[in-house]
Every structure is written in structure tokens, then in C-alpha cells.
Structure 1
């Protein structure tokens, strides 16, 4: 090979490595929250913040001075994450509290303890979730993905809503997914007892997040509490652990998959951006309003799902 060819090859490799690939990677990384808002004196609850995008969200909000409560099932992992966040941010007000979203008794215990300890809640980020797991049921008999991703967070929000209303201004962020596009609410078989497909059950739960965000925004008008949903993007996380296929795809295309920090940006944006003070009922992706599938904009379905959810949980939310 002559020197000219070697030089050309080196130039092409250099171009790809130092300019083209970083530009492509930047595109797939998505939006970045540019807000410098401080959260001193504000209390935040983030479910599932012991790992992944929840942990990165907790770290960012702790850096802004918030009192951050990591609500998770695995206390040991939660404490490890909290210790790391305290060391990196210098914020000692990062606490861990037990919460199993697959058990309504645990959700009620968490809420009761929170309301005894805290006066107000300024930001609630319903982040935790399960994805494409083998068929199983929660402690209360709900299909696991519908029970955790939707009903668990629905009940938690209901139990904490008065603390949110008491804050001067407060925000609820529901972490949904682009997967809602493939979802359908199967009112005739919400618990997938007649047939079960892990992927479709996940899509149903994420559609439920979008629909209930829409309905909740209407019901919270005039309360100074806003609620929005987010799609974090395709992120390196433990969420795909139940799917061998997705785990393989994630590894093969890892260059195009977001890091947890990148995936957390839209949740952070919806939690702190000043321009969103009065924005409610919107679905965001990459820190911008995003497309919502027609079934996610169906008010009749949203209201019916709301009513059914209240009935399943034995609550009355007017």
C-alpha cells in the first residue's frame, strides 16, 4: 500500500472518529436540559431512582439543591445510589424510602410516612417501571406491568396529591414511552388473563401513562399542579433484562443508545424548566413536545381508564 493510500485512509478514519461519529452520536443523544433553575427548599420524590435514568435525575436535582427522596423497593441499592449522589453533589438531603409499586399496602405505607415527615411535595417523578417480564401478578392480583407502571403510580399520585397542592407550585412527571404508539387499552382483559404478550402488555401500560396524564391535567386545572408525560428515549438500563432479543439489540446498536444521563434530560427538563410553569397535559421527548398516537388523545378512553383504575384500587378521585 503506497503512502498516499495510507494517508487517505488515516484521514478518513480521523474524520469519522473525531467529527462524523461524534456528530451522529450527538444527534442520537437527543435534547439537553439547559435550565439553570435552583431547587433549594423544594422536596422531590423519584420512584426507582436507585438506578438508570431515575438515579441520574436524582443526581441532577440534588445538584440544584433539592431535598431528594429515592423511593425504591431495594433499600440496599437505594442507599448505595444515595451515598454516591451525596458524595458527588455535596447535598446530604438525599434520602431513601422503601416503596414497592407492586403492592398497594407498601404504597400506602410510603405515602403515610411521607406525609408525616414532609409538609409539601414540589416534584413527583413517576419513573420506576418493569418491561416485558414473564407473566406474573402484583400482590393485589394485577398483571405486573399494568399494575406497576400504571396502577402503582396512579395510586401513589392520588395519595400524595394534597401535598402537591399545598406547595406554591408543583409538578408531576410520568415517564412513559414511545411504545404507547403500539398500545391498546384492553378493557375486556386489562390483566391479560385471557392472553398475554409481554411486549403488548408493556405498550398498554405506557399508553395508560399517556392517557392518565391527559385526564389528570384536566382534573388539576386551577390547582397550580401540572402533570406531563415523557419519553426518555432508548436508554442503556436494566429495563430490558427480561428480553433476550432487546438485550442483544441494545448491545449491537449501543452506539445509538442513550446513556442514562442522556435519557434523564427530558424528565429533568419537565421538572425544572421555568417556561413549563403552567404547561400541563403534554407529552415530551428530547425536551420538546412530541407526537402522541391517536389512541393516546382519546378523551373517552382516558376517562374510562381513569374510572376503571379508581374502581380497581378502591379509591374515589373527583
Structure 2
């Protein structure tokens, strides 16, 4: 054999083994996906799903519409989103599905979206902060002045949750569900350099930082909402073949992986939506708060994500960076005398609230 032939054989063997492993892994991984089996109805309930024009958001919006909810889709591209809404209406038979413009990296857009909901809706029962982007090849700065990935994945949802809290508290056993990722465990939060002004920017670092922020936000939010009747949880949807991985402006390695590899080995979008559906519909999702879920089960998040001091620092910095007014801020329950409700009474009230989801 010639040296070239030998080299080809040497390369072909490990590549072949890798491809075979991927082909075997994919079906097994998808088969292990738990399905949300909750058969509750959401008639009379209002739900907001961000990023609902594709991927997990679209799959989630469809399932909630099938259960009778009024579904408000927060989407940045209305031209793309309206046909998706029409498709959801057709498949669910529920005409109460609407699209509203929402660009999470633009705080003015977030405020306009929230103002419209506050003006039109009597109450909000479920807020699913689902939208997100993966890291871009090069650092980009959003219109709000902050690094684009953190602005979209964290700051926008942080601001939106605050602005909609009044309507959430007006609902019965309302829920805030944040979509994070297992990659939060790789995240490093430098409170003094969240925009990567001093640190070297890498797309994977920007993404994992934003996902860590999602978990820290959830845990601090749960602490502040204790006794309020609103619960919040965060989840990892699993490895899912979504459009987030297939956008051409992503880092090349992410784009190629999303285009050619993820369809073989990852969960479908419907499978990936099961955990957020579980948190939206199950009794456990209405009683627990501040927990991290994977595959419809409670799981342990990273050590850094459980750092309460870091969570408080991120909260304070986020309030400043999204320009929250004092009246818009969610108060600290430990400093609010109205939060002195007996924990047993609060738990019972949340359980009673769940009975409305029938």
C-alpha cells in the first residue's frame, strides 16, 4: 500500500467508528426522553412563550394551545411568526393564539411588549422564557449596549419578568419557567466584566455565561417570590436539534454541527419541549420553586449556580443594566412584611390553584 492509502485507512477507521457510535447513540438518547403525561386543560388561562416561532417555543406553544390556553407568542420576526401562529391554530383548533413583536436584546421592545400585555390581559398564568441564541462567531453588542448573547438570553427575560409580575400575581398559581442548559455548568460569571471587555470573547463562554445567569436568576427570583403565589423553575431541555444551532451567523463549528450532526443524534423539538410542558402543567411544577429540572425530573445544578451571593450580585447588576425603576423591582421577600404567610398555607394555596388547571 502507498503512504497515501495507509493514511486514508488510518483516518477512515476512527471516523467510521465515530459515525457508527453517533448513529447508535441518537436513537437510544431519544428513546430515553420522558414525555409529559399531564392531561390538564388550560381553558381561561393566558400563557406567554418567548421565541415561539420555531424550535422548542413553537412545540411548546402548540401543546399549550391544544389544551385551550390563550397563547401569546413573543417573536422578533412577525413575518415569520404569523404563519407559525396560523399553523398552530389549524393544528390545535384554538383560535386564541396571537403574535406580538418582541426583540429581547432591545429593552424598548421588551417594554412595549410588556405594556401591551399589561393593557390587554386581566392576568397572566404562565410565562415561559424560552427564546435564546447561541454564541456568535465574534462579539456583538446589542442596541441596549450589552453583549448580544447575555442581552438576549438573560437581560431581556429578566426585564420582561419584572414588567409582567403584576399580571402574574393577578393569576392563580402562576408560573415563570426559564429555559437554561446543562452548559450552565461551564459558565463563569465575572460581575465586573459581563460584556467581555477584558476577558477574551469566545462564543461558548458567552453562551454558558448566559445559561448560568438563567439559573442564578431563577433561584434568586424564587427566594423573592416566596409566599407570593408565583413559582419559578428552570430547566435543561436536553440536546435538541433546534434552529438555534443552524443560524448561519453562528460560529462555524456550531453551524456545521447543527446542520449535519445534531439531526442524527439529538432530540426532536417536540421531545425537547417535554420538560417545560411538565413544569407548566404538573402539580409539582406549581408547588416547587427555585428548582432545576432535566428530562421532567428534578436535578442538581452546578455548584456556582447555587451561590446565593453571586445570584444577589447578578440581580443587582441586572436591575441597573436594564434600567428598572424602583416601582418596577420585585421586592426582597425577607424585607417585605406581607410575605410572612405560613409556608403550609402558601403550599396549600398553590395546590388549590393547581386544581384550576383541569
TM over 0.5: yes
Aligned to 2:51: 48
The structural deviation recorded for 1:255 is: 3.0
Aligned to 1:243: 251
Change (3 A) 1:21 1:157: closer
Aligned to 2:88: 85
The structural deviation recorded for 1:25 is: 4.8
The structural deviation recorded for 1:245 is: 1.7
Aligned to 2:222: 217
Query: Superposed, which structure 2 residues align to 1:265-284 within 5 Å?
Result: 265-284=274-293
Question: How far apart in 1 are the matches of 2:287 and 2:177?
Answer: 13
Aligned to 1:157: 161
Match of 1:230 among 223, 227, 235: 235
Change (3 A) 1:174 1:253: closer
Query: Superposed, which structure 2 residues align to 1:30-41 within 5 Å?
Result: 30-41=33-44
Question: How far apart in 1 are the matches of 2:29 and 2:219?
Answer: 33
Kindly indicate whether the alpha-carbon contact (under 8 Å) linking 1:37 and 1:274 is maintained by their aligned counterparts in 2. no
Question: Matched residue of 2:72: which SS?
Answer: strand
Question: Matched residue of 1:69: which SS?
Answer: strand
Kindly indicate whether the alpha-carbon contact (under 8 Å) linking 2:232 and 2:289 is maintained by their aligned counterparts in 1. yes
Aligned: 1:311 with 2:320: yes
Aligned to 1:148: 152
Q: CA RMSD in A?
A: 1.6
Question: How far apart in 2 are the matches of 1:267 and 1:95?
Answer: 20
* Deviation string, structure 1 residues 22-41 (Cα, Å, up to 9, x no partner): 9625435x221010011000
* Deviation string, structure 1 residues 46-76 (Cα, Å, up to 9, x no partner): 0000000100000000000000000010001
Runs of 5+ in structure 2 lacking a partner? 1-23, 332-358
Change (3 A) 1:224 1:63: same
Question: How far apart in 1 are the matches of 2:180 and 2:60?
Answer: 15
Kindly indicate whether the alpha-carbon contact (under 8 Å) linking 1:25 and 1:255 is maintained by their aligned counterparts in 2. no
Question: How far apart in 1 are the matches of 2:141 and 2:92?
Answer: 38
* Deviation string, structure 1 residues 234-277 (Cα, Å, up to 9, x no partner): 11111123133233334235332010001111111111112322
Match of 2:176 among 163, 169, 172: 172
Query: After alignment, is 237-246 or 199-208 more displaced?
Result: 237-246
Kindly indicate whether the alpha-carbon contact (under 8 Å) linking 2:26 and 2:266 is maintained by their aligned counterparts in 1. no
